[in-house]
Structures are given as C-alpha cells and as structure tokens.
Structure 1
Amino acid sequence: MEWDKGDDMHIAYLTPEYPHEKISNGGGMGTSIKNLVEALAELGHEITVFVYGQPVDMVFVDHKITFHLIAQKKYQLGGFYFYRKHIEKYINMNKGSIELLEAPDWTGITAFMKLRLPLIIRFHGSDTYFCHIEKRAQKIKNNFFEKNAVSKAKAFIAPTNFAGEVSMKLFQLPMDKLKVIPYGLQLENFKNEEPDVYTPFTLLNIGTLIRKKGVFQLIEVFNRIVEKFPEAQLLFIGGDSNDVLTGNSSTWAMMQEKMTDKARSNIEYLGKLPYNQVKDQIVKAHVCVFPSLAETLGMVTIESMALSKAVVNTDIGWAQDLINHGVDGYMHHPDDIGSYVDTISMLFTNKELVKGLGEKATQTIQNKFDIKKNALENIEFYKLVLNS
C-alpha cells in the first residue's frame, strides 16, 4: 500500500509512562511521546497509546487520542515473558485499523512478541546504551531482551545523532535503518513573557535523583558556589531513587552527605511536582544546570531553553545537538567542576549575558524543536517505512 502526504494514518505507541492524571507514571520519555502524539492528532491522524504496567485496565479518549491502560500482572514464574505475551495479545486483539506501532527500547519490552503490525523502535535510551555510557556492567537478561526486541523492528528513530549512532553500533544494526528526529515542544505552552524577571542567584536542576544525572557533581559545584555567593540557592525537582553502585535506597540521603554545612542550608529538595509547577520553577530560576552523565537528549534542557533560561549543560555527545556553546547555552563535562563554577559565577554577575543567552536559546528551540515541524518529519518517515 502506498501513502502520500495527504493520507491520514492510524499510529499506535507502546509506553510505560505518559503524563496524565489517569496514568500512574510520567517522565521525560512520556513527555516527548505526549508532545508528539498530540501534534499528530491535531494534524488529523488517529492515535492510540498503549500504556503498560498500570494499576488497572482502562480505555478512555482524551485530546482525540485513545488510551489503553494495560494492568500489570503478577506471575509465579516467568513474568518477564508472560507479561510481554499478555501485552502482545492485547495489542493484536485491539489492532483495528492501526497501521504501525512505535515502541521504546528500554528493557526490550517488545522481546518475544509476535505483533501483527510493523514495528518501529525509538531510542529513548536502552539499558544497553546507558550501561555503555556509564561504563558499568549490564544484566545479561536486559541485554538479551533488548537485542531480541530490536531484531523485530523495521526501522529506528533517535532524538540525537549521538544516541542513534551509539545505539545502532551497540546492537549491530544497519545505519540505513536509522532516522534522527529530535523531540519537540508545543511552543505555545512555553512562553516566558518576562525573561528579565527571575529569582537572582537561584540554580535549578530537574530530573530523577540518580547518579547518571550528575547530581553528585552538582553538589560539589554548589559547595564552591555558595562560598562565593552566600545568597545562592539550589533547588532539586524530581523523584528520589536507589543508587546503582552502592545499593543505597536513597540518592538524596547520599547527596546530603556530600554537602558542606553552608551549602546544606541553601539547598532545597522539592520532590516530584506537577508539570505546570515545574515550568513555574524554571521561569523563576536564574540559571538551569544539567550536568548529566547519560541522556539521549534531555527534555528539561530544551524546555528550559524554550523558556529563555540560561542553561549550563553537560558537553557529552547528545548535548552537541542541543547547544552551541557560548551562544545559546554553555556545556562542560560533569567532572569539570571548576568550569561549572566559573560559568555560573559569570552568569550570576552579568544580567546582559543571561538575557542574550536566553534570547538565543529560545530561537534555537523555535528553529529545531518545534513539535509541529517534527511531527511532519515523523509522519514522512513512518510512510517511508511502510512503503518499503
């Protein structure tokens, strides 16, 4: 069957998360999917979202999108296999007019599935990818699942060149099956009417409190910053997590052990916040700091840039697709504590630099990360895959 630009499609997405009041999990991956599917629905395409690992089974429609929540099931043995087969059966039974299914790479959820649909896998960040980036051992089971899952896909999408190329090499996949399409934002939802108004000397970090986000390096940075700027504040937003290296049940508790007394009194952990409150905190921040050690793109980086914030980001691989260093943001390696301190100090003392950086950051997002443009690029690739 041949599709042309005028044809509407029926596309399905499989995901463990999606930011919605009826769905139990939401994160950066879920946000990127939400932005895409809402834009596709507005273009007239029919969208179905299958969300697995949920407390209950439920079907509902919102924003012209049909959601199928698939309840988590418990099995005495082999749950990793039987739950996947349960999801497979559910999708095949509810296939209807769906023409194509997109799934994430994380832990190879589509492993063992025999789907009656063409499958595209998007590299949101597999366990294989993150273990490689972080130079840590991977569980044999996860590697097996992810390799099995990607072997079933007709094509692959990655949000950055770095994430795509590394993932394709790790899974020994042909590069001609890869398309790089950045995540996008609904730009009308990211307007900062008063970019010159913010809380001075406030640093903001958003994301799960986990080693790979560079949270320990950020504590080191702030220990030095507060010595130079006693009024400085550092806010963390995101859920706590266990630590993969030590097995400690709370990364936040470990972070507190690294704080100086002066820094500790100027650091606030806000936990998880609703999405609109996160945006409010971005707008209030003087500088947004993301010294991450492992990402595929980093939604909070482009969200902060869209809101005209001065961003000091990691410089590893994927970040090269987001920021032009010194023009619309700054990039340093997370372990280069001194450069973070110097850059933040410079931004704290130069209002014009902060303003100019924010203006250029917003321009960059409008040019490269407009979901309306990126949605069209996704559709063209979907049609290309189906036509092939």
Structure 2
Amino acid sequence: MHICFITGEFPLPGQHHGGIGSFVANLGESLVKQGFKVTVIGLRKVKETEYHNINGIDVYSIPHGKSKYFKWYENFKSLNSKIAEIHRVNKIDVIETAELGLFFLKKIPSVKYMIRMHGGHNYFAKFENRPVNKWMNIQERRSFSKADYIVAVSDFVGSKTKELINYKKDYHVIYNPINSKKFYNATNEAIEAFSILFAGSIIEKKGIRQLVQSMEYLVDKFPKVKLYVAGRFANIPGTSKSYEPVLKAEITDKIKNHIEFLGVVPNTEMPKLISKMHICCYPSHMEAMPIAWLEVLAMGKIFIGSNTGPGPEAVIDKQTGLLCNPHDPKDIAEKISWVFENTSLAKEFGTKAREYVIENFDNETIVSKNIEFYQSIINKK
C-alpha cells in the first residue's frame, strides 16, 4: 500500500516545522515499519526540487512558483506533475492532505483522496475572531468537494468544520498519535520547583500573552516562580510584523525576572526539558487536537490546557490535568496556584494522564486505526 501525504511542513534537518509536520513524520515512520510505502510531497522555499529519504519516507520538496499573479497555477502544475511522475513508477493508493490541500490537485481515477482535518482556515478564523479570507474560503470549500473521505483529529474540529463550510458528508474521527516511548514516563523525576513551561509558536492564539499576564498574580505569592518560554516568535496573522514586541510590551518590571525565553528547542530535546518542569501550561485559545499537549500528558507531567474546543477530548479536567479559560489570566493563575499548593494531588493527575494517553492516543493504537481506515477505503469501489 502506498500513501502519499501532501504537505510542506514535514520536518527536515535544520528547518522549522509545525504540528502537521510532526504528525506526518510520526505516522509515516510507523507506516513504513508496517511495510507501507510512504511519500511526502510539499511546496517549500527551495530553488529546485530536493529529495530526502528520512526514516524510510521519500520526501520531495517542490519550489514555489515565481509568477507574481499566477503563482497558484505554477504550484498547481508542479504538484500534479510530481504526483503523476511518482504514481507512474509506484502506484499511489491514497493521497492525504490537510483542509486546503486538494484544491490544487487533479484527481487520478484509481487513487483515493482524503482530507485529514487538523484545523483549517474557516475553523481558526471563526474561533480567533478573524475575518474569513475569500480566496482561502474558496480553496477550502473546493478542496472538500473533491475529497472522497474525511478524517478529523477530534470530534470538535470535525463537527465545527462541517458546520462552517456546510459540508454534507460524514467524517471519521482518528486522534493524533503520540510516541509514548520517546515521551517517556517522567512522573518520578526531579523537578525545578515553581517552574512553568510554555512550548509552541509564540503567537496570540497560543494564549502566551494571557499566560504572561497571569504571572502578575503569581510572583508575590510564589517568589520563586519562573516561566520558561520555548518556541519561535511568529508573525501576526495577515502581516509581516513579528509578535515579539506585542508580547514583550506585556512584561512589566514586576515579572521580567520571572520569565526566560529559550528560543526554539528541537523536538528531540523536548522530553528532557518537559521532565524538569513543575507544570506545563499551554493555554491555547483554540486547537484541533494538539500533539504538544499529548506529549506532556504521555510523560505523566502536571498539565494545564484550555477548556475551549477539543480540550475536554484531550484532558479530563481534574482527573488527568486541569483546564482553564485561556482568555482569562486570573483563571490561569488560579489553576497554577492550585498545583503549587497541591503538588502531591496534582501528581496523581499525571499518573492517570499517562495511562489515559497510552490507552487512547498511543502510536500502536492510532496507527492500527489508520491502517484499518486506509484499507477500508482502498477496498471500496
């Protein structure tokens, strides 16, 4: 069986990547070990087509079009040409993309086309209170109209996206997988007391500003509290302006010595960093099914996430972690304070979290569900 993923986010050495890239790399490597052929094709900032074989996955990086007005058409031609070339040599059974991915693709009759909903343009525009971009809206709706099958990484993202774009077909929920061996059991490792970790893109939607503001409520009560921020400053959506000055304007003299920016931490080093932390707090305004949350939960660490969107699908509040209002710095501070004052009880959440993640999100379980799904759609005529 040959699965082809269309994404420009696959993690390549020395390059930044996001959650979709981590997902494809993780699932793809597991599929290869099961005897599948896996190919990844994506548009990237390269001068000419590049090829890498990473853990058995064939990865093709295609240069973006150069035309000022018809870049989309050049991208369309390049992607379809590479897909057709690969299909001639080694028949593709399934092509999988995120929400927008099928818009540019010309369908090959023998191939099954599926969208995996990781949270598309309409979804995040809605929940971040941003205007919908007309062109991206057209692309997304057209992409869904071409899909043979739909998978959602959470029931929340599936139901809300279906509602927003008025999509009529059913979707199948398969959660994101987590490598519980790489993100090992760290429940009994020594921690830095009163430490808080935030990891992810540093941008408004990740809740980092409200987390920084929550420090105003914490430093007097917990003089040793320290917030570590791991990640890259992103641009403000729709602009070329960095989010950095926006966030740093929130850092007052009172809290500045209690916050440290670590920069980008490679995913391979994240388990070691997570293991040292007293709390991991990722108060995203909205997610689809955040892999970063699952990584922390898999390590049995005390975790605070958001009560928005699929938060309750990932974290059972007051059982495997705590859920906060990500828009309310005071509520975030109250949840952090509770952990600092009830560390022994909170550690029990961590133990239950690892058990819950292994049962519901572990690689072996989720890969098996994906294989069953791929086989079921390939066998359909």
Q: TM-score range by the shorter chain?
A: over 0.9
Map Cα deviations across residues 102-141 of structure 1 (whole Å, 9 max, x no partner).
0111xx2321421313210111111111001112201111
Task: Name the structure 2 match of 1:5.
Answer: none
Query: How many residues align structurally?
Result: 375
Question: Structure 2: which 5+ runs fail to align?
Answer: none
Return the alpha-carbon distance in structure 2 between the equivalents of residues 194 and 365 of structure 1: 14
Amino acid at match of 1:73: G
Give TM-score scaled by structure 1 length: 0.92
Shift of 1:173: 1.7
Return the alpha-carbon distance in structure 2 between the equivalents of residues 170 and 85 of structure 1: 29
Determine which of 109, 114, 118 is the counterpart of 1:124: 118
Instruction: Give 1:92-111 correspondences, 5 Å limit.
Output: 92-95=84-87, 96-105=90-99, 108-111=100-103
Task: Name the structure 2 match of 1:33.
Answer: 24
Task: Name the structure 2 match of 1:53.
Answer: 44
Determine which of 367, 372, 378 is the counterpart of 1:386: 378
Question: Structure 1: which 5+ runs fail to align?
Answer: 1-8
Shift of 1:179: 0.6
* Structure 2 CA distance for partners of 1:323 and 1:11, relative to 1, 3 Å: same
Instruction: Give 1:1-388 correspondences, 5 Å limit.
Output: 9-21=1-13, 24-55=15-46, 56-95=48-87, 96-105=90-99, 108-116=100-108, 117-176=111-170, 178-193=171-186, 195-244=188-237, 247=239, 249-388=241-380
Amino acid at match of 1:203: I
Amino acid at match of 2:122: T
* Structure 2 CA distance for partners of 1:193 and 1:236, relative to 1, 3 Å: closer
Amino acid at match of 1:349: E
Return the alpha-carbon distance in structure 1 between the equivalents of residues 213 and 302 of structure 2: 20
* Structure 2 CA distance for partners of 1:328 and 1:193, relative to 1, 3 Å: closer
Return the alpha-carbon distance in structure 1 between the equivalents of residues 30 and 345 of structure 2: 34
Shift of 1:193: 4.6
Return the alpha-carbon distance in structure 2 between the equivalents of residues 170 and 136 of structure 1: 14
User: Matched residue of 2:263: which SS?
Assistant: coil
Task: Name the structure 2 match of 1:3.
Answer: none
CA contact (8 A) 1:196 1:355 kept: no
Shift of 1:340: 1.8
* Structure 2 CA distance for partners of 1:384 and 1:319, relative to 1, 3 Å: same
Amino acid at match of 2:260: E
* Structure 2 CA distance for partners of 1:327 and 1:153, relative to 1, 3 Å: same
Return the alpha-carbon distance in structure 2 between the equivalents of residues 193 and 154 of structure 1: 42
Shift of 1:217: 1.0
Amino acid at match of 2:377: V
CA contact (8 A) 1:58 1:68 kept: yes
Shift of 1:243: 2.1
Map Cα deviations across residues 303-362 of structure 1 (whole Å, 9 max, x no partner).
001111111110012111111100010002212333321221121133312321111111
Map Cα deviations across residues 59-100 of structure 1 (whole Å, 9 max, x no partner).
232322222222223113210232122111211121122111
Return the alpha-carbon distance in structure 1 between the equivalents of residues 232 and 107 of structure 2: 34
Map Cα deviations across residues 216-269 of structure 1 (whole Å, 9 max, x no partner).
111111121112112111111111122238x58222221111122121111111
User: Matched residue of 1:66: which SS?
Assistant: strand
Amino acid at match of 1:192: N
Stretches of 4+ aligned residues off by more than 6 angstroms? none
- Percent identical among aligned pairs is 28
User: Matched residue of 1:122: which SS?
Assistant: strand
Shift of 1:196: 4.0
CA contact (8 A) 2:8 2:61 kept: no
Shift of 1:384: 2.2
Amino acid at match of 1:174: K
Which has the larger displacement, 24-33 or 55-64?
A: 55-64
